[in-house]
């Protein structure tokens, strides 16, 4: 019996090793994502705020970020309680896969400005502001679908005044999504969704 358990354990370990690290790192929990195609990959509870009166939370904008990091490490940062940062969503460059890290009813710590955090949804995108190869067609399309759905859920106008970059947040010292982010294309895709 002991040998059988050892073999079963070895087989399970081998099976897990066959799963790509990026998939293992974002294993879904029991929570349900707000966006139907998003994988739930919860941020640590120390990295976002649950509002005292969620029904009073009014979201009026979407903030676009570029993570300056790959997809899985970005989620890892949000899971580290020492980092004190999170975003609601992360979009992967290669296939447009979406992970949700904070529920939309909760306040993610993404904008660097508490007032903006309390009334916005933050979307991180895998990549770097100076590496346009990360801004793939599928990433733009899936992110635009996500943004359009967020706008529909919260009654946010789908325009440049309500879909803004991290660099436009008052008091921000960030440059993302950067000058290589194609705002015209993005907003066109959001409005076509």
Q: Model pTM? A: 0.84
Cα-flanking dihedrals φ and ψ of residue 116, to 5°?
A: -70, -40
- In sequence order, what are the beta bridge partners of 40? 100
Q: Sorting pLDDT into bands at 50, 70 and 90, what band is 126?
A: very high
C-beta of residue 150 within 8 angstroms of C-beta of residue 156: yes
Residues of the chain with pLDDT > 90, as a percent, come to: 81
Maximum distance among all alpha carbons in the chain?
66
Provide mean pLDDT across the span 152-181.
97
Cα-flanking dihedrals φ and ψ of residue 160, to 5°?
A: -70, -20
- In sequence order, what are the beta bridge partners of 164? 63
pLDDT in tens, 78-104: 999 999 999 999 999 999 999 999 999
| pLDDT, mean over the chain | 88
What is the C-alpha end-to-end distance of the chain, expressed in Å?
57
Name, in order, each residue with C-beta under 8 angstroms of 11's C-beta and a sequence gap of 6 or more.
none
pLDDT in tens, 149-163: 999 999 999 999 999
pLDDT at position 30: 52
User: Which segments of 36-82 are extended strands (E)?
Assistant: 39-40, 48-49, 61-64
Question: Which residue in this structure is represented by tokens 């590496």?
Answer: 131
Q: Sorting pLDDT into bands at 50, 70 and 90, what band is 32?
A: confident
pLDDT at position 6: 36
């Amino acid at each position: 019996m002991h040998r059988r358990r050892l073999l079963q354990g070895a087989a399970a370990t081998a099976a897990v090793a066959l799963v790509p690290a990026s998939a293992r790192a974002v294993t879904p929990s029991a929570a349900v994502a707000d966006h139907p195609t998003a994988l739930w990959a919860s941020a640590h509870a120390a990295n976002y705020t649950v509002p005292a009166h969620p029904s009073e939370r009014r979201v009026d904008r979407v903030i676009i970020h570029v993570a300056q990091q790959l997809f899985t490490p970005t989620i890892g940062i949000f899971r580290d309680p020492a980092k004190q940062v999170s975003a609601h969503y992360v979009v992967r460059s290669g296939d447009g896969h979406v992970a949700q890290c904070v529920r939309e009813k909760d306040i993610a710590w993404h904008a660097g400005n508490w007032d903006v955090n309390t009334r916005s949804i933050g979307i991180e995108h895998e990549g770097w502001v100076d590496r346009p190869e990360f801004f793939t067609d599928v990433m733009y399309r899936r992110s635009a679908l996500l943004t359009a759905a967020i706008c529909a859920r919260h009654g946010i106008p789908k325009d440049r005044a309500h879909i803004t970059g991290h660099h436009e947040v008052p008091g921000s010292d960030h440059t993302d999504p950067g000058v290589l982010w194609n705002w015209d294309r993005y907003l066109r895709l959001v409005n076509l969704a």
